[in-house]
Amino acid sequence: MTKLPDRRGRFGIYGGKFAPETLMAPIEELEHVYFTTGTSKQFRKELDCYLKNYAGRPTSLYYAESFSKEIGCRVYLKREDLAFTGAHKINNTIGQVLLAKKMGKTRVIAETGAGQHGVATATAAALFKLECEIYMGELDMQRQSLNVYRMRLLGAKVNCVKSGSRTLKDAINEALRDWISNFKTTHYVIGSVVGFHPFPVMVRDFQSVIGKETRRQILRAEKRLPDYLVACVGGGSNSIGLFHPFYKDKSVKFIGVEAAGKGLDTDYHSATLCKGNPGILHGSFSYVLQDKYGQIHPTHSVSAGLDYPGTGPEHSFYKDAGRAEYYGVTDQQVLNAFHVLSEKEGIIPALESAHALAYLLENRSRFNPDDIVIVCLSGRGDKDVNEVARIEGVQL
Ligand SMILES: *Cc1c(COP(=O)(O)O)cnc(C)c1O
């Protein structure tokens, strides 16, 4: 089997570099630096040191006994909610900001949806003493006001994006505009396995720490590999981070769970792999939610972190190759899962992560009693508590 992606950044037919001419220079610079410095033993050692001592890795792999009883199989949770700043995003931002520093950049920019990537970028920028500017849709700023304040506390400037649907996609457009004007001093910290090469492979490599730890931990706990890995898919980074190190283990099935919002048969969802088709968005060829003219579809999800009309090229490849299966769960099913895990395990999950849990709750009959199922608990739910209370009509 050939290594993926190939040298042009292709996962089969997906991926690549569909970037404006003005961005070719910074993209090629990044590609060169990533494949020399960024993949070197010395860089990895330095990064591992920060992941361990600053971000609190390895995160635990927790056997969720009560939740397992509820589902009827052996469920382990990979506790990315315990990583510093409350989600897996920190694995990627420490990697990219450290690399930006090695490149001699003085400033980083990023887009953010739920605000977790913005917070994680602002955190890494404070750590490595780089200037930081974050682009965030106006709607997301309203939904996630606490994270906006956290970013400002960390010394970042937060720019409100009022164009389009005022969510993640529009924030990415603005960040790209900034990068085109400022790439000499600035690195663009993309928050998921999306965008042009080398972002999908670089972010996957940084997030693969999730799957590498999980493999070691499950072999120690159960003396065998798991039967299923389940993770939510927005851009696709926590899922690829968990899946990728098991790619060659054909007995391990991958299940990606997307946001079906108000239902897959409505116009209100973000289920790109379930309902989209191949097209170009933000610099790479991948599944996209678009109309018959190629215009990007508006999206909806109860969780701001999954509210995006694209997904990573590696997932698109996994889908076509049948290596992973992708399903959608509705907002209602997600809210139910949010309560079930809180009550059964004392863990309040992020609404994004609750998508993966909801798949298990809705598909109990699929699993046998001795199946080992590992769910990526991509983040903690503190950021979502206000939003859930609002949706459920609870006065705080
Ligand atoms: C951002 C985010 C996601 C979605 O992004 P992926 O790139 O698909 O992982 C999922 N869970 C949490 C907690 C997030 O913050």
pLDDT digits (tens, 9 = 90+) for 306-363: 988 999 999 999 999 999 999 999 999 999 999 999 999 999 999 999 999 999 999 9
Give pLDDT, residue 66: 98
> Is the predicted pLDDT of residue 1 greater than 60, yes or no?
no
In sequence order, the β-bridge partners of residue 166 are none
* Ligand 1: residue whose CA is nearest its atom 14: 305
Q: What is the 238 CA–ligand 1 centroid distance (Å)?
A: 6
Residue bearing tokens 């969802």: 269
Give pLDDT, residue 114: 84
> Is the predicted pLDDT of residue 100 greater than 80, yes or no?
yes
* Cα–Cα nearest to 110, from 158, 155, 144: 158
Q: What is the 116 CA–ligand 1 centroid distance (Å)?
A: 8
For the CA atoms of 136, 112, 175, 48, the dihedral, rounded to the nearest 10 degrees, stands at 150
* Cα–Cα nearest to 93, from 62, 65, 125: 125
Residue 101 annotated among the catalytic residues of the structure: no
**Phi and psi at residue 312, in whole multiples of 5°?**
-65, 150
Give pLDDT, residue 2: 58
**Phi and psi at residue 140, in whole multiples of 5°?**
-65, -35
pLDDT digits (tens, 9 = 90+) for 262-313: 999 999 999 999 999 999 999 999 999 999 898 999 899 999 889 889 999 9
Give pLDDT, residue 305: 86
Q: Which among 230, 238, 270 is the best mutation to test ligand 1's pocket, defined by most ligand atoms within 8 Å of the CB?
A: 238
Closest atom of ligand 1 relative to the 237 alpha carbon: 7
pLDDT digits (tens, 9 = 90+) for 34-91: 999 999 999 999 999 999 999 999 999 999 999 999 999 999 999 999 999 999 999 9
CA distance 386 to 336: 16
* Pairing, β 277-281 against β 186-188: unpaired
Which residues, judged by CB distance below 6 Å to any ligand atom, belong to the binding site of ligand 1? 87, 89, 114, 116-117, 192, 232-239, 305-306, 350, 352-353, 378-379
Task: Please give the distance of CA 54 from its chain centroid, rounded to a whole number.
Answer: 20
Give pLDDT, residue 144: 86
CA distance 123 to 198: 23
* Cα–Cα nearest to 214, from 372, 34, 36, 21: 372
Is residue 83 within 8 Å of residue 91, measured between CB atoms? yes
pLDDT digits (tens, 9 = 90+) for 198-215: 999 999 999 999 999 999
User: Structure tokens of 134?
Assistant: 């974050």
* Cα–Cα nearest to 350, from 314, 297, 305, 393: 305
User: Structure tokens of 224?
Assistant: 């065998």
Please identify which of the residues 111, 174, 213, 314 carries the catalytic annotation: 111
